């Protein structure tokens, strides 16, 4: 079964532990600027939103990548960056509307979330379960669709 | 105590432009645009068969061959582009992998640009070298040479427009994602290019300062500067009107952190100085020094135009951020509605609008899960 990360901003406390464990797991350095997950914060209103790669269906990053290093995995539809092909041109970073791929200052290539090969560290360390790794089954998909429809309605009303 | 509701998210939002592409890319965009523009103008001069001043043309002897440098002042564009292209490589994370950059020309504009630029550089340099070499077996007057000339001309136009399309291709930055940006960069490339041609021909004595060709070139250049100003105005106007982030970008450029680049670099150096100095120069009967100074300021203005557009680029909000903003709005409106209902009990009037807003707020308060796919 395919799995995916689900983010619930209402549970997030903005502790940024996920950033820390992510960078420790991937790079060995406790440097949140090299992590693959970022918490966007609005301190003045207390909103915290952990953001990871959305694995978009029509992804801008794969479109603009000049080397095909950033491509879709044909098996599970996830976006993958080939570290041997990436030239570090940062075009995908600029193209992504979610601000996701990150330029690794040490390795000089672009990095993105790879679900830690099936065991996401951010999920196992998040006490609030604001980030969760769940099956992308029908229930989840229905929930997602419902949220999306609700969002569309909301947008229509606001406009 | 009742205070006016201030939108804390929108007002407290930190205006943060992109920081991935900086001065190095601006230098590259500028050199590529200026080189391509000057090549376009130079080729037009060449095709129109304008009489050049051969006696004053310099020539050097190398290995016993007399090299003819007459055409160099109008054909040097490819050299500028080939100086600019390494700046793009300089910006890469791993520089030795730059040859990989042409692997995906099907969707990526960076890869297409790699091919356009290298084609232009190759054809332009071949034509430049051909115009210098004196060998008879080159048949310099042969009509067949028109084919590479046309190809180089087309790719020069492509290079000038490409610098804009490279930025236009990023859909998440509203300031860049407009059709006016390639047009702006094309016009800017032509105006800086023709100014560079004026300077180089004047400096090498190819055109004397009162020759008809130079006067035509100068008036064309002035027209281009005026057109550039109009396009820049339209560009900023449309970006301002398009989206909220476009508005933020234009504000940042006009009144925010980057106002020095805009007012000092683009407006003062790119538009006001050259026009004033050229007018003064026309009073002093073609004072060459004044023309040179005005030309150099205009060239600087072209660079600052690229730098300004690059450094003010701001990403659109993610849908999640927007959702949170809306939800906060709803909550605030609901609070306001409640407050007014309390006031209503004391005899004041509630509007129908507020009750409608309450319903919306109720809806948005349902728990919304944000999932990780679009």
Would the CB atoms of B372 and A45 count as touching at under 8 Å? no
pLDDT band at B29 (very low <50, low <70, confident <90, very high): very high
**Lowest mean pLDDT across A133-147, B7-21, B79-93:** B7-21
Better-predicted residue by pLDDT, B245 or B187: B187
Give pLDDT tens digits for B112-124. 999 999 999 999 9
Give pLDDT tens digits for B282-294. 777 667 788 888 8
% of chain B exceeding 90 in pLDDT? 36
Number of residue pairs across A and B with CB atoms under 8 Å? Answer: 166
Distance from CA of B2 to the nearest CA of A (A): 19
- Give the residue carrying structure tokens 């879709």: A72
Residue among B38, B98, B99 nearest B73 (CA) = B38
**What is the structure's pLDDT at B341?**
73
Task: Name the residue facing A7 among B326, B360, B370 (closest C-beta).
Answer: B370
Give pLDDT tens digits for B296-309. 999 999 999 999 99
**What is the structure's pLDDT at B304?**
95
Would the CB atoms of B369 and A6 count as touching at under 8 Å? yes
Angle at A95 between CA A37 and CA A8, to 5 degrees: 35
**What is the structure's pLDDT at B168?**
92
Would the CB atoms of A9 and B320 count as touching at under 8 Å? yes
Residue among B243, B88, B265, B271 nearest B177 (CA) = B243
How many residues are recorded in chain B?
374
Chain B residue numbers with beta carbons less than 8 Å from the beta carbon of A5 are 372
**What is the structure's pLDDT at B331?**
73
Q: Does B90 touch chain A (CB under 8 A)?
A: no
**What is the structure's pLDDT at B345?**
63
Give pLDDT tens digits for B326-349. 777 777 777 777 777 776 666 555
* pLDDT score of B355 more than 60: no
Q: DSSP 3-state assignment of A37?
A: coil
**What is the structure's pLDDT at B112?**
94
Better-predicted residue by pLDDT, B250 or B336: B250
Would the CB atoms of A98 and B91 count as touching at under 8 Å? no
Chain A residue numbers with beta carbons less than 8 Å from the beta carbon of B18 are 94
The answer, yes or no, to whether ipTM is higher than 0.95 is: no
Residue of A nearest to B373 (CA): A54
HSE, side-chain direction, 13 A CA sphere, residue B320: 27
Q: Does A150 touch chain B (CB under 8 A)?
A: yes
- Domain of A130 in residue numbering reads as 3-158
Q: Does B172 touch chain A (CB under 8 A)?
A: yes
Would the CB atoms of B101 and A97 count as touching at under 8 Å? no
pLDDT mean over B130-158:
85
Better-predicted residue by pLDDT, A31 or B348: A31
Would the CB atoms of A153 and B107 count as touching at under 8 Å? no
Better-predicted residue by pLDDT, B330 or B156: B156
Distance (Å, rounded) from C-alpha A56 to C-alpha B84?
A: 35
Distance from CA of B263 to the nearest CA of A (A): 26
Q: DSSP 3-state assignment of A7?
A: strand
pLDDT mean over B254-271:
90
Question: Within 10 A of B279 (CB to CB), how many other CB atoms are there?
Answer: 12
Residue of B nearest to A78 (CA): B373
Would the CB atoms of A151 and B318 count as touching at under 8 Å? no
* pLDDT score of B6 more than 60: no
Q: Which residues have a Cβ under 8 Å from the Cβ of A72 and sit 6 or more positions away?
A: A59, A62, A78, A79, A80
Chain A residue numbers with beta carbons less than 8 Å from the beta carbon of B12 are 42, 44-45
pLDDT mean over B127-148:
81
Enclosing H/E stretch for B83: helix B77-90
Would the CB atoms of B369 and A143 count as touching at under 8 Å? yes
Better-predicted residue by pLDDT, B54 or A140: A140
Residue of B nearest to A39 (CA): B321
Chain A residue numbers with beta carbons less than 8 Å from the beta carbon of B97 are 67, 85-87
Better-predicted residue by pLDDT, B235 or A46: B235
Chain A residue numbers with beta carbons less than 8 Å from the beta carbon of B91 are 89-90
**What is the structure's pLDDT at B10?**
53
* pLDDT score of B174 more than 80: yes
Secondary structure of A84-130 in HEC code, one letter for each residue: CCCCCCCHHHHHCCCCCCEECCCCCCEECCCHHHHCCHHHHHCCCCC
**What is the structure's pLDDT at A135?**
80
**What is the structure's pLDDT at A40?**
82
- The overall average pLDDT reported for chain A is 85
- The verdict on domain B23-311 having CATH code 1.10.260.40 is no
pLDDT band at B73 (very low <50, low <70, confident <90, very high): confident
Structure token digits, residue A76: 């599970």
Q: Does A134 touch chain B (CB under 8 A)?
A: no
Q: How many domains does chain A have?
A: 1
Q: Does B115 touch chain A (CB under 8 A)?
A: no
- The overall average pLDDT reported for chain B is 81
**What is the structure's pLDDT at B288?**
78
Distance (Å, rounded) from C-alpha B78 to C-alpha B128?
A: 8
Q: Does A57 touch chain B (CB under 8 A)?
A: yes
Enclosing H/E stretch for B211: none
CATH code, domain carrying A76: 3.30.70.20
Distance (Å, rounded) from C-alpha A113 to C-alpha B221?
A: 51
Q: Domain residues of chain B, as ranges?
A: 23-311, 319-365
Distance (Å, rounded) from C-alpha A17 to C-alpha A129?
A: 12
% of chain B exceeding 70 in pLDDT? 80
**What is the structure's pLDDT at B64?**
66
**What is the structure's pLDDT at B84?**
92
**What is the structure's pLDDT at B278?**
80
**What is the structure's pLDDT at B204?**
77
Q: Does B177 touch chain A (CB under 8 A)?
A: no
Task: Name the residue facing B374 among A10, A45, A56 (closest C-beta).
Answer: A56
């Amino acid at each position: 079964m395919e799995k995916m990360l689900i983010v619930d901003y209402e549970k997030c406390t903005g502790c940024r532990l996920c950033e820390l464990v992510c960078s420790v797991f991937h790079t060995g350095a406790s440097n949140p600027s090299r992590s693959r997950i970022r918490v966007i914060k609005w301190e003045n209103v207390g909103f915290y939103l952990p953001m990871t790669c959305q694995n978009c269906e029509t992804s801008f990053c794969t479109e603009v990548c000049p080397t095909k290093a950033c491509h879709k995995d044909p098996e599970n539809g996830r976006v993958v960056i080939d570290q041997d092909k990436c030239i570090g041109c940062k075009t995908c970073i600029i193209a992504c509307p979610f601000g996701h791929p990150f330029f690794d200052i040490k390795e000089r290539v672009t990095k993105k979330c790879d679900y830690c090969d099936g065991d996401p560290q951010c999920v196992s360390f998040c006490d609030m379960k604001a980030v969760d790794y769940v099956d992308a089954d029908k229930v989840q998909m229905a929930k997602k669709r419902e949220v999306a429809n609700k969002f569309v309605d909301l947008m229509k009303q606001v406009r | 105590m009742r205070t006016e509701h201030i939108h804390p998210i929108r007002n407290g939002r930190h205006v943060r432009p992109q920081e991935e592409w900086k001065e190095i890319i601006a230098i590259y965009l500028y050199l590529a645009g200026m080189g391509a523009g000057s090549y376009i103008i130079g080729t037009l001069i060449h095709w129109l068969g304008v009489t050049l001043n051969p006696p004053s043309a310099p020539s050097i002897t190398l290995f016993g061959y007399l090299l003819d440098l007459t055409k160099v002042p109008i054909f040097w564009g490819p050299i500028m582009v080939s100086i600019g292209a390494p700046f793009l490589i300089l910006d890469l994370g791993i520089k030795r992998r730059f040859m990989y950059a042409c692997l995906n020309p099907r969707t990526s504009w960076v890869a297409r640009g790699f091919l356009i630029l290298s084609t232009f550089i190759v054809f332009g340099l071949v034509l430049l070298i051909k115009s210098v070499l004196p060998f008879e077996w080159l048949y310099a007057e042969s009509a067949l040479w028109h084919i590479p000339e046309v190809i180089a001309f087309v790719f020069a136009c492509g290079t000038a427009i490409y610098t804009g399309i490279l930025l236009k291709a990023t859909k998440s930055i509203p300031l860049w994602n407009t059709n006016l940006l390639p047009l702006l960069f094309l016009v800017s490339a032509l105006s800086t290019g023709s100014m560079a041609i004026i300077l180089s021909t004047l400096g090498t004595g190819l055109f004397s300062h009162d020759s008809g060709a130079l006067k035509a070139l100068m008036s064309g250049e002035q027209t281009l500067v005026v057109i550039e100003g109009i396009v820049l105005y339209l560009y900023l106007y449309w970006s301002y009107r398009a989206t909220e982030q476009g508005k933020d970008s234009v504000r940042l450029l006009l009144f925010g952190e980057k106002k020095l680049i805009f007012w000092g670099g683009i407006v003062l150096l790119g538009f006001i100085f050259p026009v004033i100095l050229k007018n003064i120069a026309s009073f002093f009967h073609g004072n060459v020094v004044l023309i040179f100074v005005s030309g150099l300021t205009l060239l600087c203005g072209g660079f600052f135009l690229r730098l300004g557009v690059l450094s003010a680029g701001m990403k659109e909000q993610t849908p999640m951020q927007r959702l949170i903003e809306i939800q906060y709005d709803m909550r605030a409106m609901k609070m306001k509605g409640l407050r007014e209902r309390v006031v209503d009990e004391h005899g004041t009037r509630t509007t129908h609008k507020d009750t409608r807003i309450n319903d919306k707020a109720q809806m948005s308060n349902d728990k919304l899960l944000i999932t990780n796919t679009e």
